[in-house]
């Protein structure tokens, strides 16, 4: 089956660069339509197809790179060791971390994943929306709501007249 080529939008021209969330930059090799965009990863040279929407949002992964290598550079908080930075992933499940003072620590990948998940949970908890602290703050209304309510009240009182 042959795919019909369409004219590429301005941001999807051949050679356009996009940043991914985990694997650096990609460049557009060929644009067929919104569902089929051929891209090449700049750091590995791997070529794959992706939708235009996922490309614009950076939601694509380089399948030739092992999942563990995407952990390098991330920081996790350990109750025992403090703040640790992931510097290397050895073999299949040994992760090398460094403390702030430069001391090297080796941990198993599942333990690091657990610390990472715990760090993500605490970040989510700190970004919650501020809740009203008093009764007056809870019952505050904006001007538009007051205007609508007063208009409705006037309409109801004038209805029977």
Query: Is the pTM of the predicted complex or chain greater than 0.75?
Result: no
109: domain CATH number? Answer: 2.40.10
The verdict on 49 and 81 lying in the same domain is no
- Residue 118, pLDDT score: 80
- Residue 72, pLDDT score: 74
Report whether pLDDT(109) > 70: yes
The verdict on 119 and 79 lying in the same domain is yes
The verdict on 90 and 111 lying in the same domain is yes
Domain contains 45 = yes
Share of the chain above pLDDT 70, in %: 76
Average pLDDT, the chain: 80
Domain contains 115 = yes
Task: Tell me the pLDDT tens digit for each residue of 8-50.
Answer: 888 889 999 999 887 788 999 999 999 999 999 888 888 999 9
Write the CB contacts of 106 (distance below 8 Å, at least 6 apart in sequence): 90, 94, 95, 96, 97
The verdict on 34 and 76 lying in the same domain is no
- Residue 143, pLDDT score: 65
Report the number of distinct structural domains present in the chain: 2
> Cα(34)–Cα(12) distance, rounded to whole angstroms?
10
Report whether pLDDT(57) > 90: yes
Domain contains 47 = yes
How many residues would you count in the chain? 161
- Residue 52, pLDDT score: 93
Report whether pLDDT(85) > 90: no
Is pLDDT larger for residue 161 or for residue 78? 78
Domain contains 138 = no
Residue-number span of the structural domain to which 95 is assigned: 67-124
Domain contains 139 = no
> Closest Cα partner for 37 from 21, 64, 59, 22?
59
Domain contains 88 = yes
> Cα(111)–Cα(96) distance, rounded to whole angstroms?
12
């Amino acid at each position: 089956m042959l795919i019909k080529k369409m004219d590429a939008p301005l941001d999807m021209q051949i050679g356009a660069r996009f940043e991914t969330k985990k694997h650096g930059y990609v460049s557009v090799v060929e644009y067929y339509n919104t569902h089929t965009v051929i891209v090449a990863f700049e750091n590995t040279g791997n070529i794959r197809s992706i939708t235009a929407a996922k490309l614009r949002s950076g939601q694509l992964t380089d399948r030739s790179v092992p999942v563990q290598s995407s952990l390098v550079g991330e920081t996790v908080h350990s109750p025992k060791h403090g703040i640790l930075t992931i510097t290397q992933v050895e073999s299949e499940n040994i992760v090398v971390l460094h403390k702030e003072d430069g001391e090297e620590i080796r941990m198993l990948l599942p333990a690091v994943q657990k610390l990472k998940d715990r760090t993500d949970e605490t970040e989510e908890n700190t970004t919650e929306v501020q809740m009203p602290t008093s009764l007056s703050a809870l019952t505050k209304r904006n001007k538009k709501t007051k205007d609508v309510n007063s208009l409705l009240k006037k309409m109801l009182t004038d209805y029977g007249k």
